[in-house]
């Protein structure tokens, strides 16, 4: 019903503006899948294979002859429920639904429909991570990881030197961006003189830039430490020219894809003795290093694009060793220093403190 009401409102607007209602084309689900897969030629063969396999499940469920124009949110919701009934993992269910969403986005661009029925579904399984699964690495482990990141790639009969992945993994614990945000970062949004970058896009699996980020707070300005500024200045001279002006394209000047990135990542983590480390753990590392350094949690949370500042302490505080004992000592040292200098502040009246 909601979809019908939306379509009616759009039709009424079109009549008011032009006097006619534009005719929507129609195609079958199978034809749309084939057309969409034909646009992924810039991706690695393994990635295209994953796309085809992910869409195979929805093609089987909806049917090859299903009308794309008539597909509803309830249909996609039923597809997700079907996957869950088969015992598919939360990651698989969400990934398959995300592929349907990308396909519907393509359908909108091709004028086959005007809305995306795969957005904002209810009751999707959550990706659950145990408390201990939130992992942060030490500065020594990070340096070891960076040293093992591949910088030589086979191209034809020769080899191509490319430091992009190494620089990317080197700066990630110092900027706190999500992997897709780093991969979607463009030079136009990096101001090395002002020592900051603007998060405006993320890279979609199909190699396009998406301005719709995870949350409203994800669109943010991130301050860059001097180390990152120096690394990016040097890398900008080497960076392969590319159509999207990406900071971290592949050595061929194309957008990164997951299959290729994880081949490089898994080799480096294995060689560094960090098996099981996830790229998102470098974001956890950023948060933990900031807390350990005594950075204001609210500021660090804003840099990471959290919806609520409380997430910083709720998620990461347990990773800090001996936090309670250290905090108690810091308060005592601060108190003694203030008292000895005669500057102990009386910020609140006793009655006000009692009411807190």
Give mean pLDDT, residues 167-179: 96
pLDDT of 355 > 80? The answer is no
Domain end residue (candidates: 93, 109, 125) = 109
Which pLDDT belongs to residue 124?
Answer: 86
DSSP 127: -
Say if 7 falls within a structural domain: no
pLDDT of 247 > 90? The answer is yes
Give percent of the chain above pLDDT 90.
Answer: 54
Say if 311 falls within a structural domain: yes
| CATH code where residue 184 lies | 1.10.443.10
Residues 76 and 180 in one domain: no
Residues 237 and 177 in one domain: yes
Residues 188 and 313 in one domain: yes
Say if 190 falls within a structural domain: yes
- Whole-angstrom CA distances from 195 to 29, 221, 231, 261, 288 are 48, 10, 12, 27, 22
pLDDT band with cut points at 50, 70 and 90 for residue 322: low
Residues 274 and 163 in one domain: yes
Residues 288 and 140 in one domain: yes
Residues 94 and 203 in one domain: no
Closest CA to 135 of 274, 266, 271, 259: 274
Instruction: For residue range 41-83, list pLDDT tens digits in order.
Output: 776 676 788 889 889 999 999 999 999 999 999 999 999 999 9
Which residues lie below 8 Å from residue 92, measured CB to CB, with a gap of 6+? 83
pLDDT of 304 > 90? The answer is yes
DSSP string, 239-273: PPP-TT-BSS--TTSS---HHHHHHHHHHHHHHTT
Instruction: For residue range 183-231, list pLDDT tens digits in order.
Output: 999 999 999 999 999 999 999 888 899 898 888 889 999 999 999 999 9
Which pLDDT belongs to residue 209?
Answer: 93
Contact between 176 and 286 under an 8 Å Cβ cutoff? The reply is yes
pLDDT of 310 > 60? The answer is yes
Domain end residue (candidates: 109, 125, 155) = 109
Q: Which residue has the higher pLDDT, 347 or 107?
A: 107
Number of separate domains in the chain: 3
Per mean pLDDT, which range of 119-123, 209-213, 336-340 is the poorest?
336-340
Coil vs helix vs strand at 118: coil
Say if 85 falls within a structural domain: yes
Say if 248 falls within a structural domain: yes
Q: Two tokens at 312?
A: 């910083």
Q: What's the chain's average pLDDT?
A: 84
- Whole-angstrom CA distances from 235 to 110, 166, 232, 246, 247 are 38, 10, 5, 12, 9
Number of C-beta neighbours around residue 231 at 10 A: 19
Domain end residue (candidates: 90, 109, 128) = 109
Helical ranges in the chain per DSSP H:
2-18, 29-37, 45-62, 73-85, 90-109, 139-147, 164-175, 179-183, 226-238, 258-271, 281-292, 297-304, 310-316, 323-341, 350-354
Say if 131 falls within a structural domain: no
Contact between 260 and 44 under an 8 Å Cβ cutoff? The reply is yes
Residues 251 and 308 in one domain: yes
What residues pair up with 190 in beta bridges, in sequence order? Answer: 197
Give mean pLDDT, residues 324-353: 62
Say if 11 falls within a structural domain: no
Residues 180 and 239 in one domain: yes
pLDDT band with cut points at 50, 70 and 90 for residue 327: low
Q: Two tokens at 147?
A: 């040293």
Residues 296 and 339 in one domain: no
Say if 337 falls within a structural domain: yes
Residues 104 and 225 in one domain: no
Which residue range forms the structural domain that includes residue 59?
A: 26-109
Which pLDDT belongs to residue 352?
Answer: 45
| CA–CA distance, 92 with 94 (Å, rounded to integer) | 5
Q: Two tokens at 193?
A: 């003189």
Residues 150 and 174 in one domain: yes
Residues 146 and 240 in one domain: yes
């Amino acid at each position: 019903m909601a979809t019908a009401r939306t379509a009616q409102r759009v039709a009424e607007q079109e009549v008011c503006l032009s006097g006619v209602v534009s005719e929507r084309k129609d195609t079958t689900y199978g034809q749309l899948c084939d057309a969409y897969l034909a646009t992924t030629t810039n991706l690695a063969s393994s990635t295209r294979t994953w796309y085809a396999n992910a869409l195979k499940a929805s093609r089987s469920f909806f049917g090859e002859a299903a009308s794309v124009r008539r597909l509803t949110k309830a249909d996609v919701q039923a597809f997700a429920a079907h996957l869950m009934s088969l015992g598919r993992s939360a990651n698989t269910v969400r990934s398959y639904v995300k592929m349907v969403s990308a396909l519907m986005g393509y359908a909108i661009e091709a004028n086959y429909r005007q809305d995306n029925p795969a957005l904002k579904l209810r009751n999707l399984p959550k990706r659950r991570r145990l408390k201990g699964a939130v992992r942060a690495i030490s500065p020594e482990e990070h340096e070891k990881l960076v040293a093992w990141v591949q910088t030589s790639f086979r191209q034809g009969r020769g080899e191509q030197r490319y430091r992009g992945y190494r620089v990317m993994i080197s700066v990630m614990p110092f900027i706190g961006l999500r992997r897709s945000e780093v991969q979607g970062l463009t030079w136009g949004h990096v101001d090395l003189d002002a020592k900051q970058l603007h998060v405006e896009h993320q890279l979609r699996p199909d190699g396009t830039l998406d301005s719709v980020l995870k949350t409203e707070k994800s669109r943010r300005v991130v301050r860059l430490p001097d180390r990152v500024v120096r690394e990016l200045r040097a890398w900008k001279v080497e960076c392969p020219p590319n159509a999207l002006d990406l900071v971290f394209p592949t050595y061929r000047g194309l957008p990164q894809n997951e299959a290729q990135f994880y081949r490089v990542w898994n080799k480096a983590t294995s060689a560094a003795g960090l098996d099981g480390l996830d790229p998102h753990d470098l974001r956890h590392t950023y948060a933990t290093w900031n807390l350990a350094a005594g950075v204001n949690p609210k500021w660090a949370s804003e840099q990471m694009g959290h919806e609520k500042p409380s997430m910083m302490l709720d998620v990461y505080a347990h990773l800090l060793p001996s936090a309670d004992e250290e905090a108690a000592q810091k308060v005592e040292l601060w108190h003694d220093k203030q008292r000895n200098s005669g500057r102990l502040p009386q910020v609140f009246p006793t009655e006000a403190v009692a009411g807190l």
